[in-house]
Amino acid sequence: MKIGYLILAHKSPNQLKRLVNRLYVSDSVIYIHLDKKTKELDFYEALADKKDVKFIKNNIVANWGGFSLVEATLIGLREMLKNHKDIEYISLLSGLDYPIKSNRYIADYFKKRRGKEFIHFDPFPTKELQDGGMDRIEYYYDYDNNIMRKDKYELEMKAMGVKRKFIKGLKPYHGSQWWSLTRQCLEYVLDYIDNNKEIINFYRYTRFSDEQIFQTVIMNSGFSKNVINNNLRYIDWSNINKKTLHWIDNPPHPKILTASDYNLLIKSRHLFARKFEEEVDRNILDKIDTFL
């Protein structure tokens, strides 16, 4: 089974190299989108010996929370699917992720579940988010505009008492940015987006569109019957302080995993985990490598 990995990277070239080395086998395809804000040469040099690993040609500046993350993902998917007709699954990873199962285990996992889509989803309004998360779709945001406050439009719209209307005929969903999806499903998503421009126009000015657009397209399609509501990622959000949480001034980020999390990781049924940072604790990656 040919498995593809699309990696969104923005820091730590040596850690990215380590991730690539762990995923690199003869029947895997690895493409990397480098945030244009990075020192790209450092990444090219780190992976110079991996001739089969491809860097996305038309990479862009990718901003946390912005539609640019969706654009980076779509650019990568188009390039991968065009160049590799035999890919059956693609997993979206960040450069700070790491597998916690072997390549053989991952391949066997997808083989046994051929045709299933692995993506976390929840319809709006959701109990997972404050006030059901409706602010994400009821107000305009521009997280890719670095010269203004990200919630400027939200504050103005609330002052005027106006809200956005969602796309007619669709039910909105949200979930984790990270997923593992079949080629057929991803081809459908790309085709749908190409032929329904209003979905791009809507999500371009939405808060965290990268956590919504794939869920919304897929769960409003025939592929919804194949979806397993699981993104196969171990992510620890226990460090979030709801009292101090603020989407602009103090946004949430998952806990950086360390050696103290090792036992939970190796016992997990998930395939991947995030996030790791070598400068915080490289020992955890050493222990995972030894285990694998």
User: pLDDT (tens digit, 0 to 9) for every residue of the chain, 292 residues total?
Assistant: 899 999 999 999 999 999 999 999 888 999 999 999 998 899 999 999 888 899 999 999 999 999 999 999 999 999 999 999 999 999 999 999 999 999 999 999 999 999 999 999 999 998 888 788 999 999 999 999 887 888 899 999 999 999 999 999 999 999 999 999 999 999 999 999 999 999 999 999 999 999 999 999 999 999 999 999 999 999 998 877 666 666 666 667 789 999 999 999 999 999 999 999 999 998 999 999 999 9
Enclosing domain of residue 50: 2-291
Number of residues written out for the chain: 292
Q: Are 119 and 231 in contact (CB under 8 A)?
A: yes
Structural tokens at position 37: 């804000």
The domain tally of the chain equals 1
Rounded Cα distance, 248 and 253, in Å: 12
According to DSSP, residue 58 is labeled T
Distance (Å, rounded) from C-alpha 56 to C-alpha 227?
28
CATH code of 90's domain: 3.90.550
pLDDT digits (tens, 9 = 90+) for 89-101: 999 999 999 999 9
Rounded to 10°, the helix 68-83/183-195 angle is 120
Q: Are 76 and 84 in contact (CB under 8 A)?
A: no
Q: Map residue 265 onto helix, strand or coil.
A: helix
pTM for this prediction: 0.94
